[in-house]
Amino acid sequence: MKKEVPVSKNDTVEVVFEDLTHDGAGVAKVEGYPLFVPNALPGERGMVKVVKVNKGYGFGRLMELYEKSPDRVEPPCYIYRVCGGCQLQHLSYEGQLRAKEKQVREVLARIGKLEDVKVHPVLGMKEPWVYRNKSSVPVGQKDGKLIAGFFQKRSHDIIDMEKCIIQHEENDRTIQVVKDICQKYGVQPYDEVKHKGVLRHIVVRHGKQTGEVMVVLVTRTADLPHKNKIVEEITSKVDHIKSIIQNVNSKRTNAIMGDETKVLWGNEVIYDYIGSIRFAISARSFYQVNPDQTCVLYEKALEYADLSGNETVIDAYCGIGTISLFLAQKAKKVYGVEIVPEAIEDARKNAELNGMDNVEFEVGSAEEVIPNWYKQGITADVLVVDPPRKGCDEALLETILKMKPKKVVYVSCNPATLARDLRILEDGGYKTLEVQPVDMFPQTTHVECVAKLHLV
């Protein structure tokens, strides 16, 4: 007989929470049936209302806490309960780092069958606040006034925000200034239901080391009313402004940026440093949002590559060349590949900016370009991958196993796809020696990892 679900929608049940999901919800079990409950922590006991029931698991809402975790803290953000930006502000920072380490260990064991791999404690931040160097906020309207902030959890309702405590203060100030200027000149916010209005997003980028600021106005229309006056006011009211850009996105889409970008004032790029390497950052560049921890992550990748100066290195998914240029400091030659043409343009400029002539970049998918290099006789002593959340393409993993570089350094933003890909590489003759998690996004559930593999 099939076992029936032991709870129904709208039931209230007393539970003890055992774990956290990768989304930061507490996990409790009622007769073995898992309930996922936001804002609950392992070890806590409380009353939960069941809000949704599926065959294998359900969702609940925390109604009352009877016993609190010693790791529970009061979230310092005034909109934390409704905003979808952070998930773990109610958990102490030490507790966050332990939870992320546990998540990495368990995923490697469950998905990758890698129970014996050494997983180091997570490298966290001394100050796990105001770390984000980029803010992208949707713009809307409430009571006739422009609002800009984050989407409410599980909705597209905008919560007006004056301050986000994980973003650089300069970004918060700049967003308020730009919002007020656009309000003054009657710029209409974008309405995604009617696909009308002008201003979709305000994006602010800030160079952590240089202090330089870029403002990007993302509009539905190419025409921006009162453009010259808006630009004049932004330049007079925003400190360290170097660049004002308009990006036109006329499509019905959730993507922030469109294809057309034009400089309204100043430079096309701002500059920043990761370690000693200087980067030019354009409006659409992918550039890590936490430069301090990016330096920690890349230094670890460089350590795992263990370069003597004689190696050829291939950097798959090279982006604007951030890891490639770090590796080029110690390698004989670095080849980088990336599917986004604008990123490769940026990568070449960044190599030139740093006077590095031992780096070559090519546009294309890693799974096509690297086999072509292999046919041309270009092989790697060390291969570095830093793929998107979906992990490495199967064809790329097959190429790695054919090419057989002595070392593979895998930088990952998703422990689940990391575990899957490590299993494939292990089955193909590699040994995962160690994994170092790095906390790039404090107060959220995300964790980055660097894995070190050697050919057996």
Q: 48: buried, middle or exposed (CB in 10 Å: 19+, 13-18, 0-12)?
A: buried
Token pair of 334 as six digits? 């670095």
Measure the CA dihedral 344/349/354/357, to 10°: 70
Active-site residue, from 83, 295, 392, 413: 413
The alpha-helical segments, DSSP class H, found in 219-338 are: 227-237, 291-305, 322-328
Q: Which residues pair with 281 in a beta bridge?
A: 270
Using CA atoms, how far residue 394 sits from 114, 421, 424, in Å, is 20, 9, 9
For residues 424 and 227, give the distance between their C-alpha atoms in angstroms, rounded to a whole number: 54
For residues 218 and 187, give the distance between their C-alpha atoms in angstroms, rounded to a whole number: 12
> Contact, 29 vs 40, CB < 8 A?
no
**Beta strand 145-151 with 26-30: parallel, antiparallel or unpaired?**
unpaired
Residue 413 annotated to the active site: yes
In 3D, which of 47, 38, 91, 83 has the Cα closest to residue 65?
Answer: 47
Q: What positions carry a catalytic annotation?
A: 413
